[in-house]
Structure 1
Amino acid sequence: MILADESKRPITLQEKDGIPPPEIVSEKSALQIRQSRKIQPSAEALISGILQSDKTALSRAITLIESANPDHMDKANAVINGCLPYANRSIRIGITGVPGVGKSTFIEAFGTYLTGLGKKVAVLAVDPSSTLSHGSILGDKTRMEELVKNDHAYIRPSASGEALGGVARKTREAVILCEAAGFEIVIIETVGVGQSETAVHSMTDFFLLLKISGAGDELQGIKRGIMEMADAIVINKADGDNIKRAQLAKTEFGRALHLFPAKDSGWQPTVSTCSAAERQGIAEVWNTILKYLDLTKQNGFFDKKRADQNHYWMMETIERQLKAQFYNRPGMTALLESMKKAVANGEISPFAAAGRLLGEER
C-alpha cells in the first residue's frame, strides 16, 4: 500500500497572504457599544425599567447588587428599596440535585411548560466557583436553548463565589428584583453540592429535590439533611431502559420519607418520576406544587414561612455587612498579614490574634 504524502494534502481552511479577514462588525458600531456600556443608569432609571419588565434594566440591576464595590452599595440599596413594594407576588421554587441529575434540562422543560400556561418565569441559576481560579463557567443559558429565547422567560446565571448553601451572595435580592419585574414564578437552581444546600430552602416557598436512579442514591434517602427539607422528590431520567429502575427508586424514597417527622407545614412530601428530556411528568410536578401552595396558604404556614425568611435574611445581612466593615477598616490588610505571620510562627495563638484584630486584646 502506498501512503499519500501528508505534506501535499490540500488544506481546506487557510489564510492567504495579503488578504485581510473581513470585519465582523464596523468600528463605528463597536465604539457605540463600548460607549453605551460606560453609561451607568441612575437608580431611578433602573427601577423604572424593572417595573416596565425591561430585561436589560433587570440584568444591570442584578449586576449592580452583586458588585462587591462599596461605592455601589447605596445605589444598590436604593434599587432594592424602590422595587420592594412590588415584590412578594411570585411563587419561589428552589430546585437542587447532584451534578448530572439533569437540573438544567428539567428547568427548561418545566419553564417551557409554565410559559405555555401563560406564566412569566425567571430562572436564577447559580454556578459553582472554582476555589483555585475563583472563576465560573456560567453556561446555564447554553443548556437552556429553548427557554432562553422565550419572551416570557428570563435566565440569569450567577457565580456562587464564596457563598455557601448552594446559592450566590445576592440571590435573595435578585428574587426581589425579578418579582418587581413582573415574573410570577422565580426558580432558583442551586449549584448541586449535595447535603448542605440550606440557604436556598430559606428563600423559597417550595423546595424540589431531583434524583436519578441507579446512582447509589437510594440508600442516601434515610439520611437527614437535604431530604428533610424537600417538599417533593422527583426521579428524573425515567425513560428508556431506566423506567423500571426509576420506579424502584420512587418506592425506596417513598419509604424513606415516612421515617422523618411530620413537617410544620402539614404537608406530606411526595415522590414522582419524570423524563425532562422527553417532557414526561412535568405537568404532575406543577400540580404537586399547586396542591402544596393551596394547603399552606389555607393553614397559614405560607405567610409564616415568608415572615421567618425575612427575619433570617435580616440577620444574615447584618453578619455579612459586619464582616465587610471589618475587612474594609483602614490598615486592616497590613495588620491582618502581620497577625497571620505571628500565628504561623507560633508567636501568638489564633484566638489571641483574632481578639487583637477585633479590638478586644486580652
Structure 2
Amino acid sequence: MPNGRSIEETVADLRAGDRATLARAITLIESRKPDHRRAAAALLQAILPYTGEAWRVGISGVPGVGKSTTIDQLGINLTEAGNKVAVLAVDPSSQRTGGSILGDKTRMARLAVDPNAFIRPSPSAGTLGGVAARTRETMLVCEAAGFDVVIVETVGTGQSETAVADMVDVFVVLALPGAGDELQGIKKGILEIADIIAVNKADGENADRARQAAASLRAALHILTPISPNWTPPVLAVSGLSNLGLDKLWVEIGAHRATMQASGEFDERRAVQRVKWMWGMLEERLLARLRADPDVSARLDALERDVREGRLAPTAAVEEVAPALGA
C-alpha cells in the first residue's frame, strides 16, 4: 500500500480527504508492476462501498472549443456551491507523445488552486483502453476521497469520446459557433452519444452565431435516434469565459440524472459500464501476456511485417498466434 500503510489505514486516510494519500493511491493504480497491480485491486475492492454517489460528467469537444476554460469556470461554480470537484482526462495521444490534454494545470488556473478541487491528467503510456481503465479506477479513488462531482475531459478526437461516454452518467459535447458549417464540425458519431450539447463562446459578437448554431444542431438531432427514449438532448448556448449559461447547463445535467433515475436507466447504464470495464481490462491483460511471451513477441514482429507488406492475410496471422492463448 502507499507509504507502507495497510489497506485499512489507506482507506481511512482517503476517507479523511488526505491529498497525499490520494496522490499515492492514484500512482499505485497507474503502475504496471504486478505487485502494485495486485495491491491496487485490493485497494479498489476495499473502497467500493464508498463509491458510486458522485455525479460523473463527461465533457468533450474539438481542440479550441474552450473545454479547459469552461471546466475551470463550471468547477469554480460548483465548489462555491459547496461541492468537491475532481477533473480527470482521457488522452488518446498519450501513447504516441507522452503528453496529456491538461498538461500544465495553469490552463485551469483557478480550479488548480481551489482546495475543494483536484485535477489529474491521464497516464502517459499505454493504449487508449489502458488509459480509460486507469481513469475509471482514479474516478473511484476520488469518490472515496469525498469528491462528489467527477468531470472527465476528452480531447474530442478518435475513440476517446466513446471511452468517456462509457464511464460517465452524462456526456456533454461542446460546440463552436460560426466555425463554418457547424454540422461538419461535429462528427455524427459524437452527436449520437451526446446527452447534452452546449455551444460555447456564446458572448459578445458571437452571441447571434451561437444561437444560429444551436438551432442548426437542434434540427440535426431530429433526424437521429436518441440514446434514451425518455430523454431528448437539449442544445444550449453558453460561455465558459463569461460564465453565461453554465447554471442552466448544470440544471440540465441534474434533469438528465433525475430522468435516468426515474426510468431505471441510470442504474442500468452504470451496470453495463462495469461489465464493459471488466472485459476491457481482461482483454488488456491477455494482450499484455501475449506480448510478454518472448517467442510469441518475436513471431509477432515478423507476422506484422508480412501483413503490412501484403504477403500474409490478417486472418492467417491471427490463426497462427491464437493457439498461444489456447484459442
Instruction: Tell me which residue corresponds to 1:322.
Output: 286
- Counterpart Cα distance in 2 of 1:101 and 1:222: 11
Number of matched pairs:
325
Is the alpha carbon distance of 1:140 and 1:283 closer, same or farther for their aligned partners in structure 2, counting shifts above 3 Å?
A: farther
Measured after TM superposition, the shift of residue 161 of structure 1 is: 4.0
Alignment root-mean-square deviation, CA: 2.8
1:215 aligns with 2:162: no
1:200 aligns with 2:164: yes
- Counterpart Cα distance in 2 of 1:174 and 1:222: 29
Is the alpha carbon distance of 1:95 and 1:217 closer, same or farther for their aligned partners in structure 2, counting shifts above 3 Å?
A: farther
1:50 aligns with 2:14: yes
Is the alpha carbon distance of 1:254 and 1:164 closer, same or farther for their aligned partners in structure 2, counting shifts above 3 Å?
A: same
Aligned residue among 68, 73, 76 for 2:32 = 68
Structure 2, unpaired ranges of 5+: none
- Counterpart Cα distance in 2 of 1:164 and 1:40: 31
Q: What amino acid is the match of 2:84?
A: K
Instruction: Tell me which residue corresponds to 1:244.
Output: 208
- Counterpart Cα distance in 2 of 1:212 and 1:340: 41
| Maintained 8 Å contact 1:194/1:226 | no
- Counterpart Cα distance in 2 of 1:48 and 1:136: 31
Q: What amino acid is the match of 2:109?
A: E
Q: What amino acid is the match of 2:162?
A: T
Aligned residue among 79, 91, 112 for 2:43 = 79
User: Please, what TM-score do these two structures have when normalized by structure 1?
Assistant: 0.81
Instruction: Tell me which residue corresponds to 2:57.
Output: 93
Measured after TM superposition, the shift of residue 167 of structure 1 is: 5.8
Aligned residue among 236, 241, 246 for 1:282 = 246
| Maintained 8 Å contact 1:126/1:160 | no
Is the alpha carbon distance of 1:323 and 1:55 closer, same or farther for their aligned partners in structure 2, counting shifts above 3 Å?
A: same
1:123-178 superposed Cα distances (whole Å, 9 cap, x missing partner)? 10234535654444752511111111111111111246443489644111111111
- Counterpart Cα distance in 1 of 2:149 and 2:241: 22
| Maintained 8 Å contact 2:98/2:124 | no
Instruction: Tell me which residue corresponds to 1:227.
Output: 191
Is the alpha carbon distance of 1:229 and 1:132 closer, same or farther for their aligned partners in structure 2, counting shifts above 3 Å?
A: closer
Instruction: Tell me which residue corresponds to 1:310.
Output: 274
| Maintained 8 Å contact 1:128/1:159 | no
Secondary structure, in 3 states, of the residue corresponding to 2:286? Answer: helix
Q: What amino acid is the match of 1:83?
A: I
- Counterpart Cα distance in 1 of 2:237 and 2:272: 32
| Maintained 8 Å contact 2:132/2:164 | no
Q: What amino acid is the match of 2:274?
A: N
Secondary structure, in 3 states, of the residue corresponding to 1:47? Answer: helix
1:57-106 superposed Cα distances (whole Å, 9 cap, x missing partner)? 11221121112233321111111111111111111000000000000100
Please state which structure has a larger fraction of its residues in helix: 2
Secondary structure, in 3 states, of the residue corresponding to 2:162? Answer: coil
| Maintained 8 Å contact 1:267/1:292 | yes
| Maintained 8 Å contact 2:94/2:124 | no
Residues 123-202 of structure 1 aligned to structure 2 (within 5 Å): 123-129=87-93, 132-136=96-100, 138-159=102-123, 161-164=125-128, 168-193=132-157, 197-202=161-166
Secondary structure, in 3 states, of the residue corresponding to 2:90? Answer: strand
1:258-300 superposed Cα distances (whole Å, 9 cap, x missing partner)? 1112432501110111111111111111111111111111121
Identity of aligned residues (%): 46
Is the alpha carbon distance of 1:283 and 1:276 closer, same or farther for their aligned partners in structure 2, counting shifts above 3 Å?
A: same
| Maintained 8 Å contact 1:250/1:273 | yes
- Counterpart Cα distance in 1 of 2:101 and 2:198: 26
Measured after TM superposition, the shift of residue 339 of structure 1 is: 4.2
| Maintained 8 Å contact 2:59/2:174 | yes
Secondary structure, in 3 states, of the residue corresponding to 1:174? Answer: helix
Aligned residue among 53, 56, 78 for 1:114 = 78
Aligned residue among 288, 291, 297 for 1:333 = 297
Measured after TM superposition, the shift of residue 320 of structure 1 is: 1.3
- Counterpart Cα distance in 2 of 1:228 and 1:347: 39
Greater C-alpha Rg: 1
| Maintained 8 Å contact 1:233/1:271 | yes
Q: What amino acid is the match of 1:311?
A: V
- Counterpart Cα distance in 2 of 1:151 and 1:163: 32
| Maintained 8 Å contact 1:207/1:229 | yes
- Counterpart Cα distance in 2 of 1:196 and 1:137: 12
Secondary structure, in 3 states, of the residue corresponding to 1:98? Answer: coil
Q: RCO greater where, 1 or 2, for CA within 8 Å and sep 6 or more?
A: 2
Structure 1, unpaired ranges of 5+: 1-37
User: Please, what TM-score do these two structures have when normalized by structure 2?
Assistant: 0.89
Secondary structure, in 3 states, of the residue corresponding to 1:279? Answer: coil
- Counterpart Cα distance in 1 of 2:295 and 2:222: 56
| Maintained 8 Å contact 1:122/1:185 | yes
